[in-house]
Chain A
C-alpha cells in the first residue's frame, strides 16, 4: 500500500505529476497554482522526472506550447488558476477541438475585478463550454486521485479530450492534510504508455493539424466532440473501477451522501461539500431526512444519473461558488436541466456562497437546511436565488 503523509493540495498534485512523469510540461506561475510548478521544476532539476519543462512567458503560450507538444505525440501537462485560465481561453477550445488529451490541474481562484487571489469556481466554471472534461475534487486526496485518473480518461481511444482537475485555491491547495500516496511504480503502470494516433514527428506520414474548415465540414467536427464527450461517463466509471483495485478508493460520477430516503437535498461541490456533510450528519441525528450530492464529473454533466439520484427529493438547494450575473449559478443550471429529464419536479433553491474565498462555515449549511425544512413544510419559496454570508 501507499504512504500516508501530511501534505498541501499543491504538493499532492505536484507529486501526482511527478509519478505520471509527462513528456512535456509548459507552465507559467500564478497564485495559488505556483507551488505546483515550483515543486515540479525541482523534480526536473533533480532528475526525478524526464519531462521537458517549458517555462513560457504567459499562460496563453503555456497552452499553445502544450498543444504543439501534444500534437507532436507525447503526454503533456500544465496547471493554472484564475486569470491564467482566462488568458488561455482561446487555446482551451483549440486543445479540445484538436482532440489533444492534455491534463491540467486548475487551482480554483476568483476572477478580477476586483483582484482577489482566493478560491472560488468562477475560473473553471466559465470554461465549462470549452470542450474540456472537468473533474472536481473535495480535498488533496481526491485531487491526487483525479489527476492520475484524468490521464487515462483523456487518453482513452473513445475520448481523446483534454481534462481539467479542479481543486479549491488555498482552502485545499495550501492547507496541509493527511492523505495516501500510491507507490511510483503503481502509478507508472496505471497510466501506462501514451500511444498517439497522429504525430507531427512522424515525418514519413505528414499530417496537417488545424486546417481552415468552412461551413461544409465544421459542424461535423463539433458533432464529433459531442460524440466523444458522450463516451466519457462510461470511461470515467471504467477507470474508477481499475483505480479502486490499486488504491482501495472508490469514485463515481458524483458522490451520494445519505441520499437514500432524503426529502431535502443539498448539491455542492469541492471543499465546501466536506463542511456540509458534517452538518448533514448533525441534522440526520435530529431525524431530518437530509442528504447531499457532490458532483465530481461536471463536464460532461451526468444529467440522467443526477436526476435519478435526486428523484426522491422534495426540495433541492444547489450551492454555487461561482455566479452568473443575471442568471442562476452554473451548478444550479445543470441540476435544473437534469431534473427535466425524468419528470421529477422538486422545488429548487440556488444559493451563491464563498466568492473570493469567503469561508463557508457550518452555520451556512445550517441556514440552508433550515430553509429547506421551511420550504418543505410551506411548499413556498421566498427567493429562488440568494447569497449566503454576504453583507446586504
Chain B
C-alpha cells in the first residue's frame, strides 16, 4: 500500500538523503532528491552524474545516501545505471536475487542536456527499466555558473556574461523534455519541487512503468540565479505560473498538461526576481524581454495545441 500523498504521512517516512550534506542553503537539488526518494515504495539504487549533488553529498569518509549509490563520471549516469539494472536482471534470472528493486539516475542539466546526452539517449532507446531524473538549474553551477544548453535565453552566466556587446545567453534553451518524449519511452514528465504532490505522483508513475522514464525537474540555484536563499519555492512557483516551466507529462506518448494557470503571469514576474536577468531590465535590452515572452508563449501554445490534438483524437474515438 503506497504512502498516502499527505505531508503528515510522508513526513513519517525515513529520510533516505540525510542532513549534514554540504549543498547550499536553499538549494533546489536536495529538496528534489528527498521528494523523489519519498515517492519510492520499493528499495532503489541510484547512479549520480558528477556535479553539485554528487560532490556535496559524498565527501569521504562521509555519505548522505542511505541507499546504494554510485558515481562514476560526468557524462554517463544513464550508462552506469543501465549496467546496474542489467546486472539486477541477470542475477534475478539466475535466482540469485528475488527482491523488487528500482533504479534511478540523477544528473544536473550539464550532465544530462550536454555531456551526458548521448549516454542518456542510448539508455532510453535500449529500454532499461530505469528512471532518469534531471535536476535542471540552468547552468554548470558546480564549476561556477557556466552556460549549458539548458540555460535560458538572456541569462547572465560566467561563459555567457552580460557584456557591453552581447547581453547574456543569445540562444533559447534546448527543450529536452520534448526530445525525451520523442524517444517514444513509456513515461516522460516535467515538474518542480515546489509542486511536491505533482513531483511525487510523477516519480511514482515513472517507477511503476516497466521500461525507461525521464523526469525533468526545475532546480532553483540561488548562486547561479542570483537570488537570496529563502525564495527557492516562491521563485520556482513563478516559473510555473508564467508558463516558463509548465507541468506536463507524456504517458505512453499521450500528452497531458497537469496545470494551467487561470491567469498566465507575464514572464518578467519570474525574471525580475533573479540577478541573472537583471541586465535585461535596462532600456537597451527591452527587446530581449519581448523576445523571451514570445518564446515562452510560443512553447506554451504549442503544448496546448498538442494536448488539444490528443483530446480531439480521443473524442473522435468515443
A contacts, CB < 8 Å to B? 23-24, 26, 50-52, 54-58, 60-61, 64-74, 76, 90-91, 94, 98, 199-203, 206-214, 217
Contact = CB atoms under 8 A, between A and B. Distances in A.
B43 A203 contact: yes
Contact of B45 (A55, A74, A200): A200
A199 B84 CA distance: 10
Contact of B70 (A55, A71, A90, A203): A71
A57 B122 contact: yes
Contacts of A71: 70, 83-84
B94 A64 contact: no
Nearest to A61: B79
A23 B85 CA distance: 12
A52 B84 CA distance: 11
A20 B95 CA distance: 18
B51 to A, nearest CB: 11
Contacts of A60: 75-76, 79, 119
Interface in B67-89: 67-73, 75-76, 79-89
A90 B80 CA distance: 13
Contacts of B66: 206
A58 B97 CA distance: 29
Contact of A217 (B61, B63, B81, B90): B61
Contacts of B122: 56-58, 61
B87 A67 contact: no
Interface in B227-268: none
Contacts of B126: 54-56
20 contacts: A24-B83, A51-B90, A54-B82, A56-B79, A57-B125, A61-B76, A67-B72, A67-B80, A69-B90, A72-B88, A73-B87, A76-B87, A203-B43, A203-B67, A203-B99, A208-B58, A208-B63, A210-B70, A211-B58, A212-B60
Nearest to B74: A90
A201 B71 contact: no
B60 A211 contact: yes
A208 B65 contact: yes
A98 B82 CA distance: 18
Contacts of B273: none
Given A67-B72, A210-B71, A52 B119 contact: no
Interface string B4-41: 00000000000000000000000000000000000000
B129 to A, nearest CB: 12
A50 B79 contact: no
B65 A64 contact: no
Given A26-B86, A61-B118, A201-B45, 14 more contacts: A24-B87, A26-B83, A57-B118, A57-B125, A60-B119, A61-B79, A61-B82, A64-B83, A64-B119, A67-B80, A68-B84, A91-B73, A200-B69, A203-B67
Given A23-B87, A52-B90, A64 B58 contact: no
A55 B126 CA distance: 8
A64 B76 contact: yes
B91 A54 contact: no
Interface residues of B, number: 46
Contacts of B72: 64, 67-68, 91, 94, 98, 209-210
Interface of B: 43, 45, 47, 54-55, 58-61, 63, 65-73, 75-76, 79-91, 93-94, 97, 99, 101, 118-119, 121-123, 125-126
Counting chain B CB atoms within 10 Å of each CB, the highest count among A58, A72, A199 belongs to A72
A70 B88 CA distance: 11
B86 A52 contact: yes
Contacts of B84: 68-69, 71-72, 200-201
Contacts of B94: 23, 50
A58 B118 CA distance: 9
A137 B87 CA distance: 30
Contact of B89 (A52, A90, A211): A52
Contacts of B118: 57-58, 61
A290 to B, nearest CB: 48
Contacts of A94: 72-73
Contacts of B87: 23-24, 52, 68-70, 72-74, 76, 201
Contacts of B60: 211-214, 217
A201 to B, nearest CB: 6
A208 B55 CA distance: 12
Contacts of B45: 72, 200-201, 203
A74 B39 CA distance: 29
B283 to A, nearest CB: 45
B262 to A, nearest CB: 44
Nearest to A25: B86
Contacts of B93: 50, 52
B119 A54 contact: no
Most buried by A among B54, B71, B90, B119: B90
Contact of A61 (B43, B85, B119): B119
Contacts of B90: 23-24, 50-52, 69, 74
B71 A209 contact: yes
A102 to B, nearest CB: 10
Nearest to B92: A201
B83 A65 contact: yes
A126 B296 CA distance: 50
Contact of B91 (A58, A67, A201, A211): A201
A64 B111 CA distance: 14
